[in-house]
Structure formats: structure tokens, C-alpha cells
Amino acid sequence: MGSNMCPLPSCRLCAVEGGSLQSNGEMFTLLAFLFLLSGVFSAPCAKRFFPPLSANHFVCVCNATYCDEYEEPSLSSQSAIIYSSSESGDRMSIRTARISTIKGKRGVSGRIKVDPRVTYQEIIGFGGAFTDAAGINIESLSDSTRDKLMQTVFGNKGSRYSTGRVPIASTDFSKTRYSYNDNAGDVKMNNFALAQEDLKYKIPLILRALNLTGGDLRLLSSPWSAPAWMKETGKMEGPGRLRKGLEGAWAKYYVRFFEEYLSHGIPFWATTVQNEPTSGALPDYGWQTMYWNSTGERTFVANHLGPALAASKAAKNLMIIALDDNRFWLPMWANEVYSDPVASSFISGVGIHWYLDLISPASKLTATHNAHPDKLILATEACAGSNRPHHSPAFGEWSRAEGYARSIIEDLNNFVAGWTDWNIALDTEGGPTWAKNFVDSPIIVNSTADEFLKQPMHYALTHFSRFLRPGSKRVQSSTVDIDDVRVMHTAFVFDGQRILNILNTVDTEYDIVIEEASGISINVKIAPKSVTTVIWKKQLMYQ
Ligand SMILES: *[C@@H]1O[C@H](CO)[C@@H](O)[C@H](O)[C@H]1NC(C)=O
Ligand SMILES: *[C@@H]1O[C@H](CO)[C@@H](O)[C@H](O)[C@H]1NC(C)=O
Ligand SMILES: *[C@@H]1O[C@H](CO)[C@@H](O)[C@H](O)[C@H]1NC(C)=O
Ligand SMILES: *[C@@H]1O[C@H](CO)[C@@H](O)[C@H](O)[C@H]1NC(C)=O
């Protein structure tokens, strides 16, 4: 390409991967694209570096007047759009690559083959949790910074979260332990009332999120514990079961929760039966929990929760999700809860958490799907920094971004339909948490400076939440000459687009050819330690 064709003073931006321009249409697309890149709309990451001081440890800082945004140039049929985030410095950086109708070039590191004719599960969504901690942090910001944060998470130029998990009453990420009904013996739930935390820290933010997403937000709830008087131990925290005979009252408590939220304009999509029910058997467990084993959960749903929700006005179409605990318990838990046809008629799927993944292979997910192909599997909670010695935020730490992307790709490739993160935002200490269970979050609020920090994890999750819209369908992807433990990948189709996400877990650059079964190919360089999203249009030759 001659320099006289370059529309910008600096020709750096004119380098389009894959060769020279051939048609006027292509030139037009390129000009339109360069216009987007030329700074009219784009807002890059405002980097802040952290020790160990190297180019690799940084976050992107947003405040009342500034936040980096992600562009969405329109897609042509001649080129693919590539977004990448990497340890060495990219954050949703955008470029294009030519789509070639000839066989991919030789001499590359390897190939990723995508076959849209072979389809798997459909996406439900990606998101995070409206915990009290998240709400307290977000509400501590000025109106304009808070708006930037909500735009970042739910907005069109942000992560476009499509799921939100809402705790029913308090969790370890609350400032205190509280329930919605502390009146011992009130089995009719006459004194049920939402807490100040709902009214101040959850409902206003959920309403804003519903507005920003145009209602395209699937809300799912989970209780951590019944009120203290309803538990055998008389305490919300620590192990223990629901007191016998209170199953009907406990089911009524869920229904009242959905009625109250609906009266504030918030409809729910699903509820889990119980957050991490197996933690309720651990003798030294530190915070709110309540024990169910799979048989107990099955009976409670069949006889109480299922019928109570179905008979209610506010929650009659709600989906019920079992387990909501580590995948370690699969496929046994699913086999047990689905073994009773009545329970199975109420239960749409199982929720999984990532905390014991190292000792429970992802093949358990596929085994669960194969045994129950008409039921869902959803990742309902994950967070980094939950283990000592790094029991707190790690600013700018890429390995945590890689952990998110690895878990998401592994889950998606084993029939999981979505992935919901834990706290949407935490403070610089990783709280507040009355239980001192400080952890990390993709967004850290620094309220003394009226700013928030976007951790590398935020970008890793955005590569999925932003592009894999609800209804996207996973399709077959496979590698040739690349080790797919080092270069993980997952491919989707949605609305005439192909979306391929690639995680490079090693310090090597790869020069890859993507080959779609239709005969087209795209040459893409994959940076060391990076997450890359490649999006291209379905080609006319291949309907
Ligand atoms: C907000 O961030 C922008 C970009 O980093 C910076 O120029 C500006 O000074 C910041 N404003 C405040 C009040 O810190
Ligand atoms: C969001 O709120 C604005 C301002 O109140 C309103 O104009 C708009 O219609 C709302 N959008 C949706 C999708 O609810
Ligand atoms: C659950 O606990 C009950 C009561 O202790 C027991 O009968 C049942 O076998 C347990 N279920 C499983 C799957 O362990
Ligand atoms: C939070 O803001 C304060 C200034 O108010 C600053 O000193 C501190 O370094 C910031 N914390 C982080 C983690 O960036």
C-alpha cells in the first residue's frame, strides 16, 4: 500500500493484517474503521502501575470524567474484527484481519478449525453478583463515577453483563448477619420485610442495570441461610440444617422475597435452592450457610419450594437451579435430584462454583450433560483471591485474568451455558465482609479518590460477556499443530456472526490461521499471555 493512500498522518494504523487492499468496498471499510480508531470515539485505558513495578502490573483507572470504552465497529464481509487483552499491555485493543477465500497460508504456528454446522449448547449469559459489598462500594461513589461504573459493567460500551445474582438476605459479603424475618415462630411470614441493604444497595442498582440492558438481564437469587430461629443451631452462621417442620415456612420466605422485589419493579428469572449447601456440613465453617444433601434438596423442591413458587403470582415462571456448589459433587448430585420425576419437573439445571476445580475434572460437566441433556449447567459463582496466602485483591495481576478465561473456556467447552462472577465490585481491601473473607474482584472501588480500578479479570470476563450474547450457540472448534492446553479456544455463532475466543496461556506468540468449514480463512497473530476475540460474518457462499 502506497503512503499516499494513507488517510492519517501516521501510517502505523494503516497496517491491516493479511495483505493489501483490493476493492473500493474494502477501502471504504478500512476508512470507516480508521475513522473509528482515530480517536473520535475511542477512550483508551488510563493505566496505573503497581509493584512489582513492571510494565505488566497495571489496572485501568476510571473516575467521574474518564473511563476507557470498548468500540463496536460494524462488521464487513471482507474482514474480521479482533479484540485482544494481554499481560504485556493490551486491554480490548482492536484491529482487523482480512478474510481470505483461499486456503490459509503455510508456515504458520498452527490452525484453529471452526465448523458452524456442528452445534452444542446455547448461551444464557455472563455477569456478576449484586452483593451488599458491591452495593456499598458502588453507592460510595459520586453520581457521575457511579454512572461510569454501571456503564462499564452493563452498558453498550462496557461488559454488557446479561446475568445478575442476588443474595436472599445476608452473606459473608454483608456488613452484618441479618434475615428478612427474625420473629421466631412466624411461619406465615407475616413479619417478612426486606432490609435497608436491599432498599439502599441492591434495588437501585438492579433497576439501573435493567435500564442499561433494556431488560436483557437474567436475575437469579440464592439464599445463604434461613433466619436463625429456623435453623437447628439457632444461628445463621456455621453448619446446621433447617429445623424439621419448617420447610413450608422456608418456601414461603422465598416467595415473599420475589413478591417484594417485583413490587419494586424487579422480576427474577431463576433461583438456586441454596448457596453451597454442602458447606453447611463443615464443622468450622465461618459464615452464613445451611446444609442440604442432594436427597434433602430433592425432597424440599418436590414437596415445598417447587409447588410454592408455581402457586405464586410473582414467581410462577421462575426456574429452580439445584446444587449451586462445587462441580466436585457432579454428576452424583444431578442424578439424585433428577431421579424423582416431581423434583425433576421443577428443577431446570444445576449451578456450579469453581473453588474445587483443581481436584474435580471438567469432564464431570460433560458426563452430567450427557446423562441429562435437557437440563442446564450454569456457573453461578467464582472469585479470585479466596485462598491464602493471597487472600485479597492483587492489583494488575494477569494470572487472575487468565484464571477467569481458563475457567470460562473449560466450562463452555463442557456444556456450561453461562458464567456468573461473584461481587460486581469490592473495595481496595477486598470487602466489606463481616466474616473478613477478603477476596478480589474485576472492579475495585477506591472511594477516597472517587474512582474505580478495572483489574485484568474485568477484561478477561468482558471478552465473553460482551460478545457471547444470550442465545449464542457454541459450535465445533479444534486445533491442528497447536497444543490446545496452551492455546485454549471456544467458538460460537450468533445473529450471522462467528465469534472465536482464544486464550494463550504461554509466553509465546502464535501465528494462527483460522479456517472455517465454509472454506474461508483468517490469519491472526496471538500475543503471548493474552485473550483474543475474533469476530467475522457468515459468508454468503455458505448459508
Ligand atoms: C480522571 O481521569 C483522567 C484520565 O486519567 C484524568 O486526566 C483526570 O485528571 C482524572 N480526574 C480526577 C478528578 O482525578
Ligand atoms: C432508561 O432510563 C431513561 C431515563 O429515565 C429512560 O428514558 C429510558 O427509556 C430507560 N430505558 C429503558 C430501556 O428502560
Ligand atoms: C442425605 O441425608 C439423608 C438423611 O441423613 C440420608 O438418608 C440420605 O441417604 C442422604 N443422601 C445422600 C445422597 O447421601
Ligand atoms: C486510592 O486513592 C488514594 C488517593 O485518595 C491513593 O493514595 C491510593 O493509592 C489509591 N489506591 C489504589 C489501590 O490505587
Query: pLDDT tens across 155-177, in order?
Result: 999 999 999 999 999 999 999 99
Of 465, 494, 512, which residue is a domain's last? 465
CA 213 to ligand 2: nearest atom: 13
Residue 3 lies in a domain: no
Residues 51 and 134 in one domain: no
Instruction: Please enumerate in sequence order all residues whose Cβ is within 8 A of that of 183, keeping only pairs 6 or more positions apart, or say none.
Output: 190, 191, 229
For residue 64, give the ligand nearest its CA: 1
Residue 70 lies in a domain: no
Q: Which residue has a Cα nearest atom 11 of ligand 3? A: 295
Domain that residue 309 falls in: 124-465
Residues 51 and 83 in one domain: no
Supply the pTM of this predicted model. Answer: 0.92
CA 428 to ligand 4: nearest atom: 13
Supply the residues annotated as catalytic: 276, 381
Q: Is the CB of 278 under 6 A from ligand 3?
A: no
Helix-strand-coil split of the chain, %, nearest 5: 30, 25, 45
Query: pLDDT tens across 485-520, in order?
Result: 899 999 999 999 999 999 999 999 999 999 999 889
User: 233-247, 310-324, 380-394 — which is least confidently predicted?
Assistant: 380-394
Q: Which pLDDT does position 518 carry in this prediction?
A: 87
Residue 71 lies in a domain: no
Angle separating helix axes 143-154 and 132-139, nearest 10 degrees? 130
Which residue from 250, 280, 291, 247 is spatially nearest to 168, judged by alpha carbons?
250
Q: Which pLDDT does position 71 carry in this prediction?
A: 84
Q: Is the CB of 296 under 6 A from ligand 3?
A: yes
Residues 363 and 458 in one domain: yes
Mean pLDDT of the chain: 92
> Is pLDDT above 70 for 10?
no
Residues 313 and 447 in one domain: yes
How many domains are contained in the chain? 3
Which residue from 354, 340, 254, 252 is spatially nearest to 297, judged by alpha carbons?
340
What's the rounded Cα separation, in Å, for the pair 3 and 11? 7
Residue 217 lies in a domain: yes
Pocket of ligand 4 (CB under 6 A): 48, 395, 428, 446, 448-449, 453
Q: Which pLDDT does position 101 carry in this prediction?
A: 84
- Say which CATH number the domain at 148 has: 3.20.20.80
Residues 21 and 167 in one domain: no
> Is pLDDT above 60 for 9?
no
Query: pLDDT tens across 529-541, in order?
Result: 999 999 999 986 6
Residues 456 and 485 in one domain: no
> Is pLDDT above 60 for 26?
no
Q: Which has more pLDDT, 34 or 103?
A: 103
Residues 460 and 369 in one domain: yes
Which residue from 237, 216, 218 is spatially nearest to 226, judged by alpha carbons?
237
Which residue from 350, 329, 334, 272 is spatially nearest to 305, judged by alpha carbons?
272
Residues 456 and 481 in one domain: no
Q: Which residue has a Cα nearest atom 11 of ligand 4? A: 446
Q: Which pLDDT does position 53 carry in this prediction?
A: 67
Q: Which residue has a Cα nearest atom 14 of ligand 2? A: 211
